[in-house]
Amino acid sequence: MSITDEAVDRFLKSMFPVDAEGNWKSTRTRNNVDRWMDAYQNAPGADAGSVWGLAQGITNWATHGINLRGDTSRMDSVYLGSGARWESAGMNWLRGYVDEEETRAQQHVQVVVG
């Protein structure tokens, strides 16, 4: 299933902080978005423009992209910390997107057939 650039933008704005005008809240946020987009487009398993590719981007960011501070280990982050929370929120967004697209497709079929 494909995913539009507009949908990817909606995803990013739901996952990274934006101001009232919809702009990234900080340079750090913009840099993180750029790093996420690089993983979405170029990381192993990347398939930009597809739902699979977005899922790969979410997983890659949660396991490799998130900056860690202090004594937090990558494994702690992935299983219990910010990586786990980010992946859960991202996959929930993606499930909602897929559900909406499937509903839209079914309604289209009913209109055409009915």
Structural domain harbouring 99: 5-113
For residue range 10-42, list pLDDT tens digits in order.
999 999 999 999 999 999 999 999 999 999 999
At 99 the pLDDT is 94
Task: Pick the closest to residue 78 from 107, 58, 100, 94 (CA basis).
Answer: 58
Asked if 26 contacts 105 with a C-beta cutoff of 8 angstroms, the reply is no
At 70 the pLDDT is 63
pTM: 0.82
Q: CA 38, 77, 54, 9 torsion: positive or negative?
A: negative
For residue range 61-103, list pLDDT tens digits in order.
888 887 776 666 877 888 888 888 999 999 999 999 999 999 8
At 110 the pLDDT is 67
Per the structure, the count of domains in the chain is 1
The interaxial angle of helices 27-42 and 5-15, nearest 10 deg, is 130
